Chain A
Amino acid sequence: MIGKTGLLRRLAWLVVLTGILIAVAVEPVSAQQPTPSDDDVNRVAKQMYCPVCENIPLDVCPTQACAQWRELIRLKLSEGLTDEEIRQYFAEQYGDRVLDVPPARGLNWLVYVLPPLFIAGGVWIVARVFRSMVKPSAENAGASLETTPTPSVAEDPYVAKIEEELRRREREGG
Chain B
Amino acid sequence: MVEERINNAEKTNRQTLPRWVVGLVFAVLIGFLVLIGLGLRRTQEGPIVIGQKVPYFELKTFDGEVYHTQQMQGKVIVVNFWASWCKPCEQEAFELEEAWQFYKPRGDVVFLGVDYVDTEPEAKAFIQQFGLTYPNGPDLRTRISQMFRIQGVPETYIIDREGRLAFVKKGPFLSVTEIRGAVDPLLP
Q: Which residues on A are within 8 Å of B, measured CB to CB?
A: 51-52, 63-65, 68-69, 71-72, 75, 91-97, 107, 110, 114, 117, 121, 128, 132, 135-136, 139-140, 143, 148, 150-151
| CB within 8 Å for A65 and B83 given contacts A117-B28, A143-B5 | yes
In the complex, residue of chain A having the shortest beta-carbon distance to the beta carbon of B10: A136
B residues 32-84 with Cβ under 8 Å of A? 32, 35, 83-84
Contact A150 B85 (CB under 8 A): no
| CB within 8 Å for A68 and B119 given contacts A117-B28, A132-B13 | yes
Contact A95 B35 (CB under 8 A): no
- Chain B contact residues: over half helix, strand or loop, or mixed? helix
Contact A132 B2 (CB under 8 A): no
Contact A94 B142 (CB under 8 A): yes
In the complex, residue of chain B having the shortest beta-carbon distance to the beta carbon of A64: B85
Distance A71 CA – B84 CA, assembled complex (angstroms)? 14
Which among B83, B121, B138 is the interface contact of A93 at CB below 8 angstroms? B138
Contact A148 B1 (CB under 8 A): yes
Give the distance to chain B from A141, nearest Cβ to Cβ, in Å: 12
Distance A31 CA – B36 CA, assembled complex (angstroms)? 51
- Contacting residues, chain A, for B182 (C-beta < 8 A): none
- B141 part of interface (Cβ distance < 8 Å): yes
Q: Which residues on B are within 8 Å of A, measured CB to CB?
A: 1-2, 5, 9, 12-13, 15, 17, 25, 28, 32, 35, 83-85, 117-119, 121-122, 138, 140-143, 146
Contact A68 B12 (CB under 8 A): no
Distance A54 CA – B121 CA, assembled complex (angstroms)? 24
- Contacting residues, chain B, for A139 (C-beta < 8 A): 9, 12
Give the distance to chain A from B100, nearest Cβ to Cβ, in Å: 25
In the complex, residue of chain A having the shortest beta-carbon distance to the beta carbon of B123: A68
Give the distance to chain A from B1, nearest Cβ to Cβ, in Å: 7
Contact B13 A68 (CB under 8 A): no
Distance A148 CA – B84 CA, assembled complex (angstroms)? 91
In the complex, residue of chain A having the shortest beta-carbon distance to the beta carbon of B142: A95
- Contacting residues, chain A, for B119 (C-beta < 8 A): 68-69, 71-72
Contact B142 A51 (CB under 8 A): yes
In the complex, residue of chain A having the shortest beta-carbon distance to the beta carbon of B25: A121
Which among B85, B117, B141 is the interface contact of A92 at CB below 8 angstroms? B141
- Contacting residues, chain B, for A114 (C-beta < 8 A): 28, 32
In the complex, residue of chain A having the shortest beta-carbon distance to the beta carbon of B15: A132
Contact B140 A107 (CB under 8 A): no
- Contacting residues, chain B, for A71 (C-beta < 8 A): 119
Contact B35 A107 (CB under 8 A): yes
Give the distance to chain A from B157, nearest Cβ to Cβ, in Å: 19
